[in-house]
Structure 1
Amino acid sequence: MDDQQTLVQTRPLILGGQTVAEYVWRPHVPHTLSPRPFLHPVRTLAGTPVTEMMPPDHLHHLGVSLAVPDAGGTNFWGGRTYVRDQGSLPLPNHGVQRHHRWEAATPALLAHELHWIGPDGSTLLRERRRIAARPIDHRAWALDFRYALQNLTAEPLVFSSPGVKGRTGAGYGGYFWRARRGRNGVKILGPGVSGAEHLHGSTAPWLALCTADAEPWTLVFIDIAAQRDPWFVRDGDYVGVGPALAWTKPLTAAPGEGPRRRIITVVADGDLGPRAIEGLVEAVAASPAPREA
């Protein structure tokens, strides 16, 4: 059945009886947005939302999702496609990430197999995705997101980005979090540095967004597996963060192979400073991972 004909279906992530996120595993969005499962809303323990879905400036930003602008020529990001020396063009090349089967579904753990399908209906990739909500303390919890992609085609599959194709600083693609801007904007912090100009394109072990709104919050993105993918960071026309799979060089997956990644995002109440953020990073590193699905 075509994604445009299905009903939206969601599953909550629950900690201590509280829903901290909704996982839209069967979405209902226009095909030009590259339909894919996503998390929205994601909330702090105090109930403050920290994601945006289909904002007017970028309709294809869907909360927290796994989005790739170019996988074998298919747009799994949504919106326009960047073409070298031509700019961003509307092309009929959008793909779909479609749920195939559940492997685990508990209040705090969701794991499933997805198929990444090209515009011609062929399946390019098989994905195993595992999302877990982990408790930290009274003010914070962690979203543990991991995925493994497998090239199902008979040829090498190339992951690319506008950055690879010549658009400076636009190497986005992979796990991506569209955050709320907040009335007072956001601060961007990393180990010993601050500001997007210092962290965009860096391979820092963690990166944080903080806001001092009436309902302050902090997000801490942790490269828990030390994969050292460059950070894509935006704080101008919108606020978004994600480690990039193909920053300035393409990533090529042989048949039967593909990238495997894991990132943990701490969702905390309060406008936290560097010392408190470092404490959360240490707490996450010291805590045992949830059991495998």
Structure 2
Amino acid sequence: MEAPLCAGRGFCPDDCMCQTRIGEITMCAFELRENALGVEIHAGDQLLALYRATEELPRSESPKPCFAPLYTLSGQLVTEYRPPDHAWHTGLFFGWVHVNDANLWGGRWYLPETKKYEDVADSHGVQQHDGFTALEADGVTESLSWLDGRDQLMARESRSFGFYSTEGGYCLRISMRIEPAGDRLVMGASRAARYSGLVLRMGPSFAEADHYCSEGRQGHADIMHQHARWVGARGKSGGFVALMDHPSNPRHPVTWFTRANLLGTGLLIEGDLEIAAGECLELHHAFFVLDQDPGPTQIESLYADFAASPGELP
């Protein structure tokens, strides 16, 4: 069994002082490097992730921070970024189709009155990066503003994420807190598919991924719109990812939105969420990126460890 990777030191010995063990996850200091777009995470000389915080994109894509690319430790590409069919799909991202009167997902809105996806003027909002308040590989904290189609402030978000080594890969822990800037925030979803939440658009090797979930269902079609604690996806040519829903999240276990090349939470499938003034919405997820599929028993063990931890970065 290989020891966890330690940035700048090759493989990390069991007694490495940079390690703190939390169940089966090892907090081992990957290297964080800042760049013009945001931050990169490296294991030695290998790029694992780029977090795009400030990239300028067309307003029609509802610009939002995202992770793209993401790679396995062996170099397998996990994400697809701005594909021709849906340019607003940006790797691993938080997307919200309806927030008050704004589109924080991108693309057209589905209009019930026409039963079509239509362009709606001044509808595309922005999840705007305001700045980083902490920058470490095992703990990045970011402030964001949610702006509507006319650049009016709707909400403030605090987002935190960290990368941790685990056998055969790594885990990305990500948390967010959303607070309305005005009287309330109404978060809805597409009136057709109702997708919204943390979503992964998978790369070419995952274009026809094999999905399975904590409840024993297999295949993206059977998992779509069903509840599960976690969902995993295996690439046709190797590589495996698993997205997990923390038990402290609202509507846990979450409903899922899954396609052959897409893995996403569907927090709003069951209906809108309203956040009143003075209240907040918190979400906590774990995202595992592994070289091989360890099987549902091992994924369930990793989930149990995640579920037992506080609903925040460890």
- The TM-score by the shorter chain falls in which range? 0.7 to 0.9
- With the length of structure 2 as denominator, give the TM-score of the two structures: 0.81
Tell me the CA shift for residue 48 of structure 1.
Answer: 1.1
Tell me the CA shift for residue 282 of structure 1.
Answer: 4.2
- Whether 1:142 aligns to 2:175 is no
Q: Where does 1:163-242 land on structure 2 (aligned, <5 Å)? A: 165=191, 167=192, 170-182=193-205, 185-191=208-214, 192-213=216-237, 216-227=238-249, 228=252, 229-235=254-260, 239-242=261-264
Describe the shift of the 1:241–1:117 C-alpha distance in structure 2 as closer, same or farther (beyond 3 A).
same
| Unaligned residue ranges in structure 1 (runs of 5+) | 1-6
Describe the shift of the 1:64–1:84 C-alpha distance in structure 2 as closer, same or farther (beyond 3 A).
same
Q: Where does 1:25-64 land on structure 2 (aligned, <5 Å)? A: 25-64=53-92
Tell me the CA shift for residue 172 of structure 1.
Answer: 0.6
**Which AA in structure 1 matches 2:256?**
W
Tell me the CA shift for residue 289 of structure 1.
Answer: 8.4
| Unaligned residue ranges in structure 2 (runs of 5+) | 1-34
Describe the shift of the 1:60–1:234 C-alpha distance in structure 2 as closer, same or farther (beyond 3 A).
same
Tell me the CA shift for residue 291 of structure 1.
Answer: 5.7
Tell me the CA shift for residue 140 of structure 1.
Answer: 1.6
CA distance in 2, matches of 1:160, 1:13: 33
CA distance in 2, matches of 1:131, 1:184: 26
CA distance in 2, matches of 1:34, 1:65: 12
Q: Where does 1:247-286 land on structure 2 (aligned, <5 Å)? A: 247-282=269-304, 284-285=306-307
Q: Say which SS state the counterpart of residue 26 (structure 1) adopts.
A: coil
- Whether 1:159 aligns to 2:162 is no
Identity across matched positions, percent:
26
Describe the shift of the 1:14–1:108 C-alpha distance in structure 2 as closer, same or farther (beyond 3 A).
farther
Partner of 1:4: none
CA distance in 2, matches of 1:96, 1:184: 28
- With the length of structure 1 as denominator, give the TM-score of the two structures: 0.86
Describe the shift of the 1:183–1:40 C-alpha distance in structure 2 as closer, same or farther (beyond 3 A).
closer
**Which AA in structure 2 matches 1:36?**
K
- Whether the 8 Å contact between 2:248 and 2:311 is mirrored in structure 1 is no
- Whether 1:90 aligns to 2:113 is no
CA distance in 1, matches of 2:161, 2:290: 18
Q: How many residues align?
A: 274
